């Protein structure tokens, strides 16, 4: 099939030169003869197709890496940012912006954990300074008060682990547990709303607490910190 050349581009011109064996632009390039019955432009289109295929494969591989990084770090990063911002929605905004910037780099940094946590920390500090320019001492905190950045980083993984454990509770068990511990409902109120016995409610909450305590030694400290943030966001 003969492809009529309607227009050209700078890149297409360079590829035509390369197909013709030009050394002007690309340096030493071997070749220069087209297969029988093919035009320069047909060769150019084929090269474009081959290059596009390579770029697609490279981009696909990069995005698979990004997906893996996202699954591993998104929740801990959101909780880490919450230690600075004390607002889960703002924390998610910051973390999402940092992932957008990571994708725009088109390359995964060698130390991805350090890159992401530094990016999120700087973004949180920038946001807080815009909100309160006179506040020069910005540090993360939890229920006990001010903590170090390293403590916030370490806590973010423990809290994410606990959050995931809550998420993995059986659906009815999780629902009853959160109605009690997050929403402050009594056993009787939960039983009436769900048409269950109070004994069943008590059993489900005990089951949840046993499961969660088994996941973490310092369960209560992290649990009470993340509890207010468990809603439709990153859970």
CB 40 within 8 A of CB 16: yes
pLDDT digits (tens, 9 = 90+) for 28-75: 334 445 555 555 555 555 555 555 555 454 556 677 788 888 889 999
The arithmetic mean of pLDDT across residues 195-202, rounded, is 95
pLDDT value for 107? 81
| The pLDDT value given to residue 170 | 93
Please tell me the predicted confidence (pLDDT) of residue 37.
Answer: 56
Secondary structure of the chain in HEC code, one letter for each residue: CCCCCCCCCHHHHHHHHHHCCCCCCCCCCCCCCCCCCCCHHHHHHHHHHHHHHHHHHHHHHHHHHHHHHHHHHHHHHHHHHHHHHCCHHHHHHHHHHHHHHHHHHCCCCCCHHHHHHHHHHHHHHHHHHHHCCCCCCCCCEECCEECCHHHHHHHHHHHHHHHHHHHCCCHHHHHHHHHHHCCCCCHHHHHHHHCCCHHHHHHHHHHHHHHHHHHCCCHHHHHHHHHHHCCCCCC
Residue 141's pLDDT band, with cuts at 50, 70 and 90, is confident
pLDDT of residue 152 exceeding 80, the answer is: yes
Distance, CA of 212 to CA of 53 (rounded, Å): 48
Say whether pLDDT at 156 is over 70. Answer: yes
Closest CA to 142 of 90, 80, 89, 209: 80
Mean of pLDDT over the chain: 76
Q: pLDDT band at residue 223, thresholds of 50, 70 and 90?
A: confident
CB atoms within 10 A of CB 177: 23
Q: Domains of the chain by range and CATH?
A: 10-56 (no CATH), 157-235 (1.10.10.10)
More confident residue, 43 or 163: 163
pLDDT at position 181, please? Answer: 86
The pLDDT, as a whole number, for residue 108 is 84
Tell me: the pLDDT tens digits for 63-117?
A: 778 888 888 999 999 999 999 998 888 999 999 999 988 888 878 888 999 999 9
Which pLDDT does position 214 carry in this prediction? 75
Q: Mean pLDDT, to the nearest integer, of 137-159?
A: 83
Question: Which residues make Cβ contacts (< 8 Å) with residue 62, sequence separation at least 6?
Answer: 106, 107, 108
Return the minimum-mean-pLDDT range out of 30-44, 155-169, 206-220: 30-44
Per-residue pLDDT at 15: 44
């Amino acid at each position: 099939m003969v492809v009529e050349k309607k227009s050209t581009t700078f890149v297409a011109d360079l590829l035509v030169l390369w197909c013709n064996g030009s050394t002007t632009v690309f340096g030493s390039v071997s070749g220069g003869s087209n297969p029988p019955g093919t035009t320069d432009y047909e060769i150019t289109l084929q090269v474009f197709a081959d290059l596009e295929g390579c770029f697609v494969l490279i981009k696909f591989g990069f995005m698979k890496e990004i997906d893996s990084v996202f699954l591993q770090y998104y929740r801990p990063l959101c909780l880490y940012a919450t230690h600075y911002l004390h607002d889960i929605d703002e924390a998610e905004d910051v973390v999402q912006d940092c992932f957008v910037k990571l994708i725009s780099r088109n390359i995964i940094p060698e130390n991805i954990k350090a890159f992401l946590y530094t990016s999120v920390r700087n973004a949180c500090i920038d946001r807080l300074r815009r909100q309160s320019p006179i506040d020069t001492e910005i540090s993360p905190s939890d229920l006990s008060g001010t903590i170090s950045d390293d403590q916030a980083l370490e806590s973010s993984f423990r809290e994410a682990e606990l959050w995931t454990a809550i998420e993995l509770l059986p659906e009815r068990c999780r629902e009853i547990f959160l109605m009690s511990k997050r929403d402050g409902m009594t056993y009787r109120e939960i039983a009436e709303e769900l048409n269950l016995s109070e004994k069943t409610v008590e059993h489900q909450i005990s089951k949840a607490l046993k499961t969660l305590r088994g996941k973490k030694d310092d369960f209560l400290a992290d649990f009470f910190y993340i509890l207010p943030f468990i809603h439709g966001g990153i859970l």
